[in-house]
Amino acid sequence: MPITESRRAVGVVPALARRRRARRWRARGRGGVSDVVATILLLALTVTLFAAIFAFVTRFPAPPASNVNEFEAALVQGSGGITQLKILQTSGPTLSDSDAIYLQSAKPVSNWQFTRSTGVPVSWGTGNSSLGWSAGEYWITTFSPALPTGDNLTVYITSSNSLLFEGVVPGYSQSTPPLLTNTYTVPATPNTNATFQIYAQVVGNISGLKLNVSLAGIPGLSGTPTMAASGTSGLWVYNTTSGATKAGSYIAFILGSSSTTGATISGSVSVTISGTVSGGGSSSSSALSVAVSLNPQPPTEPGIGSSVYAAATISYSGSLSASYTLNFTVVQSRPTTPASYWPASDFVDTWSEQTGTISGPTTLTVYDSTAFTAWLLNLPTQNSPVIYANVSVAGVGTASGSAAVGTLAKPVWAGFAYFTTSDSSTTSTSIGDKTASFASCSATTCPYLELSFWNNYSASVSISGTVWTNSSTGTADKSYTIASDTVAAAGTYTVNVVSGTVGGTTRWTLPTGGGTGNYYIRTWLTVTSGGVTVGYLYETLTADYT
C-alpha cells in the first residue's frame, strides 16, 4: 500500500469513533429529557387532583356547634350539715353573669336557693362579678340553715334556655370520725383589750363531741374554756372576755373529744391582735373600706323559707391583686331585765365565710343570705339586730362596716299573756281591750290568765315556752308551762295558761306571799316551723292589783 493511502486509512478510524460517541451522547440526552417531562406531568396531576378534592370537601356543610362546657360539683360538710355547694367549671366558654343555676334537693328543704323560680344567677356565686364564669373558676353558694347530712342535690346549669349540665351531687355520711377543717376569729384582727370570737368548724360524726380552746398562748387571756355549738351556722364558737390583750400574733389550741365515740381531735387558730385600743379605730388599711346593706330593708317575713339578703360593698383603692375573706355577723341584744328569765348571751348569727380575689383599684359587692333563725320576732326598737361585715385582704389589711336591720315592716308572729275578767273564749287582736288591773282576787273574782298568739305567716308554726307572774312587792313568783301547740297559717290561738287548755276556765290565784301591788306577766316562747326553730318571742305586761 502506498504511504499516502495508509495515512488516509489511519485518519478515518478516529473519525468513525467520534461519530459513534456522538450518537451515544444524543441517545442519552433524549432519555434524560423524557424523565423530567414525566416528573413534571406527575406533579401537575397530583396538584390538580388535590385541588379538586379540597374544593369538594370545603363544600360540605359545617357541623352544628357543640357544647364543650364541663363541670365538677362537690358539697362542703359542716358540723350542722351541708353548708356549701361548690361547682368548678373545668373547660368551655365563659358563662354570662345572667345565666342561671337551678338546685333540687332529695329532702324537704326550704332554703332560698331551692325556691327561686328563676334559679340562682351565675353572678351570685362568683362574687357578683360582671365578667361571668370562666373555666378554672368556682361557683359557690352557702346554705343557711345547713342542709341535712346525706342529702343529694341535683344541679341544673342553664344558658340562654339551654341545659349545659345536669348531675346529682351525693351528700356525706356521718360515719367518718370528726375532723377540724377550719378555724378563724371574728373580727379577723381584734383590737387590744377588746372581746372577739373564736370559731372552729368540724365535719364528720360529732355525736357527743366537746371542744375546748386553750387561751394560755394569748397575753391577757387564760384558761381552757368550752366552746359552744352554733346550730345556725354549723360551727363551734367561744366569746372571749375583755382583757389586757397585747398587739401581736398568737396561737390558741383547740382540743376535742367525743363521749359517744371516744374520738379525739386537735388543732389551732391564729389570733392576730392589732395595736389599736378598742374604740379608737382599727388596723384596717386606708385603701380598704366596706359598706353593708340589707334587702329587703326592713325585713318583712323572717323565718323558714324567707331569706334576707345582705350585701357588702368592698372599696379598694390600691393596685394589688390579692385574696379576700369576708364574714357577715348579725347581733341582737337580749332582754336583760330581769336577767334570770332571759338567755345568758346575745343572739349572734354568723354566716358562712366568703372568699375570693380582689384586684385594685375596684369596687366589689359580695352577697349572702340567711333566714335569721335565732332572732327575736317581736323585737322592740332598742333590740333591733345589727349586721356586721368584716373583710380581710391579704397584704392590705382589714375593714369592717355595719347596718341596722330595723324594726320589722310587719309582725309575722305576735302574742302576749294577760289578765282578763272573761274566760279564754275571748279573743282579741290588740292588748288595748284587755283588763290590765283588777280590784280583788278570790276563788270567784280572780282574773283569768290567757295567752293569745297570732300567726300572720304563710305556713303553720308551733309554739312552746313559759309564762311567769311575778309580784313587785315580794318574792311571789309563779311559772306556767306552755306545751307545744300548732297554730295554722294566718291563724289565731288563745289558751288558758293555768289549765293549759284552749277554752279552759280555770282562774289564776295569788301566789304564796303575794299581795297588792303590781304583777309582771312575762312570756317567753319558742317558734318552730317544720321542726326547725325560726325565732323567739317575748313580752312583758304590768297588771295592777289594788
Which CATH number fits the domain that encloses residue 145? 2.60.40
Q: How far apart are the first and last CA of the chain?
A: 185
Q: How many domains does the chain have?
A: 4
Nearest to 386 by CA among 367, 368, 403: 403
Whether residue 441 sits in one domain with residue 346? no
> Which long-range contacts link 170-173 to residues 24+ away (Cβ below 8 Å)?
170/75, 171/75, 171/77, 171/82, 171/147, 172/75, 172/77, 172/82, 172/203, 173/149
Residues 437 and 539 in one domain: yes
Q: Cell triple for residue 110? A: 326550704
Q: How many CB atoms lie within 10 A of CB 472?
A: 12
Is 375 contained in some domain? yes
Q: Are residues 247 and 346 in the same domain?
A: no
Average pLDDT along the chain, 546 residues, taken 10 residues at a time: 49 58 56 70 80 70 62 79 87 87 87 86 81 86 82 88 85 69 81 82 79 84 85 70 74 83 81 56 63 69 59 86 85 65 68 82 83 60 70 83 66 67 51 55 79 77 85 73 85 87 84 72 81 75 66
Asked if residue 7 belongs to a domain, the reply is no
Judgement on whether residues 533 and 442 belong to the same structural domain of the protein: yes
Q: What is the DSSP letter of 95?
A: B
Tell whether 396 and 420 lie within a shared domain: no
What is the distance between the alpha carbons of residues 370 and 305, in angstroms, rounded to a whole number?
Answer: 10
Q: Residues near 152 by Cβ (< 8 Å), separated by ≥ 6?
A: 105, 106, 168, 169, 170, 171
Query: Of the candidates 224, 245, 273, which is a domain's last residue?
Result: 273
Write down the pLDDT at residue 137.
Answer: 86
Domain presence at residue 93: yes
Consecutive H or E run containing 527? strand 517-529
- Verify that 187 and 125 share a domain, yes or no: no
Instruction: Say if residue 340 is in the same domain as residue 370.
Output: yes
Structural domain contains residue 22? no
Looking at the structure, tell me whether residues 247 and 311 fall in a common domain: no
Are 344 and 458 in the same domain?
no
- Domain holding 532: CATH number? 2.60.40.10
Domain co-membership, 83 together with 149: yes
The verdict on residue 236 lying in a domain is yes
| Residue-range definition of the domain harbouring residue 113 | 70-169
**Residues 101, 122: contact at Cβ < 8 Å?**
yes
What's the CATH code of the domain at 187?
A: 2.60.40.1930
Note whether residue 18 is domain-resident: no
Domain boundary among 116, 134, 169: 169
Domain final residue, candidates 374, 404, 434: 404
513 and 534 share one domain = yes
49 located within any domain: no
Cis before 64 (ω within 30):
no
pLDDT of residue 426: 46
Indicate if 74 and 159 belong to the same structural domain. yes
With contact defined as beta carbons under 8 Å apart, do 497 and 490 qualify? no
Q: Looking at residue 102, what is its pLDDT?
A: 93
The answer to whether position 334 is within a domain reads yes
Distance CA 275, CA 189 (A): 10
